[in-house]
Amino acid sequence: MEFQIVPVPAEKLKAKIADQSQLGFGKYFTDRMLVVEWKGGQGWVDARIEPYAPFSLDPASLVFHYAQEIFEGLKAYKWVDGRIALFRPEMNARRFNQSGDRVCLPPIPEELFLKGIEELVSLEREWVPTAEGTSLYIRPAMIAVEPVLGVKPSDHCYFFVIMSPVGAYYAAGFNPVNIMVEDHYVRAVPGGTGEAKTGGNYASSLKAGLEAKKKGYDQVLWLDGRERRFIEEVGAMNMFFAYGSHIVTAPLNGSILSGVTRDSVLKLAPILGYTVEERQIDVNDLMSDIRSGKVTEAFGSGTAAVITPVGKLCYRDEVLQLTGGQVGTVTQKLYDTLTGIQTGKLPDQFGWIRFVA
């Protein structure tokens, strides 16, 4: 499929963000976006890269009422030799279609997903920031735009991609975040949509997040929806716990998101001399293992958050500090290795990098 390139008028080109330490996360957007439409009976049509601009949508569009929506998140990095690297984008393409299947959005050919992103990034290459810890965050999404109030899968959808130059996801940067275990609200249940990257999961998480924030915590750690007993994940991160050099994470049980970063940590850890295990983690056992000092570090993993150390963990009335509030060695090593591969400072021994032409 060819992409129609709609030029951006010179006077509409935005100024780049001069001070890259002020980027934050998802505050600025590049000059262009990719849009491809899907119509029942026709398939994918009208692929275009056009000036970044608001959509004009019918207020009856299905996405506004029944949340038929999915999204992805990946990053482009500018290497010192000037090349632009994407990290495992095929995983995002595959997961996008898995998410879409769950909410009855049409599958998009992986080639279209990948080529579209590459072409957009290539046109916007000047927007990829270069300062340490920065990148160009890429946000593909699909929405249902058929204007009808009956509950049904939409027969008109938009696939679109927008991009934002970003710094650290958390204001604290690479510093420990404090996390509260949520034992009232749940994020996902067996058979629900927890495994899909769909907007509704986030809408239903906001209230717990707000209440945690009021108590001074940055994020909520979700427990399983059936017994509220087993560790699932944090808002946009999978969770890991280090018992010395043994690293444990929850298994992909259908209600947690299958993170690309999670998978990368599981593959990198053994070559760094750590052992990994995917197993159910009972929150009561976890708390007692932290209390007794068996758990030495905890960290989250996600594209946006990369590897984020956990400082304090609160469950019911108990607050425990991990690693003395410092960044642990396992966490630091995984962060350095992962970001080293992403930015070309370390060899890409798994073939994870895909360059943008």
Ligand X SMILES: *Cc1c(COP(=O)(O)O)cnc(C)c1O
- Least Cβ distance, residue 205 to ligand X (angstroms): 8
The residues near 302 (Cβ < 8 Å, ≥ 6 apart) are 169, 236, 237, 238, 259, 261, 308
Select 176 or 300, whichever has its Cβ closest to ligand X.
300
- Least Cβ distance, residue 258 to ligand X (angstroms): 7
Select 158 or 240, whichever has its Cβ closest to ligand X.
240
- Three-class secondary structure of residue 157 per DSSP: strand
Number of chain residues interacting with ligand X (CB under 6 A): 14
- Least Cβ distance, residue 159 to ligand X (angstroms): 18
CA distances to 13, 66, 100, 163 from 9, rounded to whole Å, are 7, 36, 34, 19
- Least Cβ distance, residue 276 to ligand X (angstroms): 16
Residue 179 near ligand X by CB under 6 A = no
Among 197, 241, 298, 314, binds ligand X (CB under 6 A): 197
- Least Cβ distance, residue 235 to ligand X (angstroms): 6
Residue 195 near ligand X by CB under 6 A = no
By CB under 6 A, the residues from 246 to 305 that bind ligand X are 257, 259-262, 301-303
Select 259 or 328, whichever has its Cβ closest to ligand X.
259
Select 26 or 326, whichever has its Cβ closest to ligand X.
26
What is the dihedral sign for C-alpha 179, 182, 186, 188? positive
d(CA 220, CA 210) in angstroms, rounded, equals 9
The residues near 158 (Cβ < 8 Å, ≥ 6 apart) are 35, 36, 37, 38, 55, 142, 143, 145
- Least Cβ distance, residue 166 to ligand X (angstroms): 13
Taking alpha carbons only, the member of 329, 332, 277, 278 closest to residue 308 is: 332
Select 238 or 337, whichever has its Cβ closest to ligand X.
238
What character string, x for contact with ligand X (CB under 6 A) and - otherwise, covers 33-72?
Answer: ----------------------------------------
Select 47 or 188, whichever has its Cβ closest to ligand X.
188
The DSSP bridge partners found for residue 66 are: none
Where are the alpha helices (H) located in the chain, listed in sequence order? 62-66, 89-102, 110-123, 199-203, 206-214, 260-271, 283-291, 329-342
- Per DSSP (E only), the strands in 135-265 are 135-144, 156-166, 177-182, 219-223, 231-234, 237-243, 246-249
Instruction: Tell me how far apart the terminal alpha carbons of the chain are, to the nearest angstrom.
Output: 17
Select 137 or 315, whichever has its Cβ closest to ligand X.
137
- Least Cβ distance, residue 96 to ligand X (angstroms): 11
Whether 295 contacts 322, CB under 8 Å: yes
Select 161 or 236, whichever has its Cβ closest to ligand X.
236
CA distances to 2, 105, 108, 117, 119 from 111, rounded to whole Å, are 12, 17, 8, 10, 12
Dihedral, CA atoms, 215, 216, 217, 218, nearest 10 degrees? 130
Whether 327 contacts 334, CB under 8 Å: no
Select 197 or 312, whichever has its Cβ closest to ligand X.
197
By CB under 6 A, the residues from 232 to 251 that bind ligand X are 233, 236-238
Q: Which parts of this chain interact with ligand X (CB under 6 A)? A: 73, 197, 233, 236-238, 257, 259-262, 301-303
